[in-house]
A and B are shown apart, each in its own frame.
Chain A
Amino acid sequence: GNSVTQMEGPVTLSEEAFLTINCTYTATGYPSLFWYVQYPGEGLQLLLKATKADDKGSNKGFEATYRKETTSFHLEKGSVQVSDSAVYFCALSLNTGFQKLVFGTGTRLLVSP
């Protein structure tokens, strides 16, 4: 089946530290890959996406590259801020049918000043 595996959290960093959150996937076919962010008490916001192999999604200093050979889509940011504290979800959708999202378990990021 289709699934997403994320590193467990919480990930605790100091401000301006480098961030990596690992995400690997299993899918039939070639999915689109997404990172969503959820701030406390809020809904899910799309952070970035990539629709095919070797694509790099980027937004607000975050980046992730679609690696077909390693079935990975790791999230990175060079210098985190306190305001980046949130839960990050990696997700996939197949490019056929009605593209329901399959989410990973989420990784909580805590950034301290």
Chain B
Amino acid sequence: AAGVIQSPRHLIKEKRETATLKCYPIPRHDTVYWYQQGPGQDPQFLISFYEKMQSDKGSIPDRFSAQQFSDYHSELNMSSLELGDSALYFCASSPSRAEQFFGPGTRLTVL
């Protein structure tokens, strides 16, 4: 069965650089969620999209932005990266607000 695809799987950036994380949801899933998991921490909700519109917003810094495109894939854009942004970023998708299926995550390291 198709799963959520995230790219890249690993990303290394310098402070103050920008990063773009991509998420490809399971086909026919219309809702995408982004979570951030710091080292040894629980995942924290960042933002979600339903039918290409932002549906909810959590503790997402102003330096971050995200969108969902017409093909339902989503991108998380992160600017002015800080050391504290180093984390595992998960994308999850769901069909019409039901159970969430998680991708493998993108590990971002900021040096």
B-binding residues in A (CB < 8 A)? 36, 42-46, 49, 89, 97-106
Given A98-B50, A98-B55, check contact A103 B43 (CB 8 Å).
yes
B100 interfacial by beta-carbon distance below 8 Å: yes
State the 8 A-B residue pairs at the shortest beta-carbon distance, nearest first: A103-B42, A44-B102, A98-B55, A100-B45, A43-B104, A43-B102, A98-B56, A105-B42
Q: Which residues of A contact B50 (CB under 8 A)?
A: 98
Residue of A nearest to B56 (CB): A98
B41 touches A105 (CB 8 A): yes
Residue of B nearest to A32 (CB): B99
A44 touches B90 (CB 8 A): yes
B33 interfacial by beta-carbon distance below 8 Å: yes
Residue of A nearest to B100 (CB): A101
Given A105-B41, A105-B42, check contact A46 B105 (CB 8 Å).
no
B99 touches A46 (CB 8 A): yes
B31 interfacial by beta-carbon distance below 8 Å: yes
B99 touches A43 (CB 8 A): no
B97 interfacial by beta-carbon distance below 8 Å: yes
Seed contacts A98-B48, A101-B35; 8 additional CB < 8 Å A-B pairs:
A44-B92, A46-B101, A49-B99, A97-B55, A99-B94, A101-B100, A103-B43, A103-B44
Residue of A nearest to B41 (CB): A105
* Smallest beta-carbon distance A3→chain B, Å: 11
Residue of B nearest to A104 (CB): B42
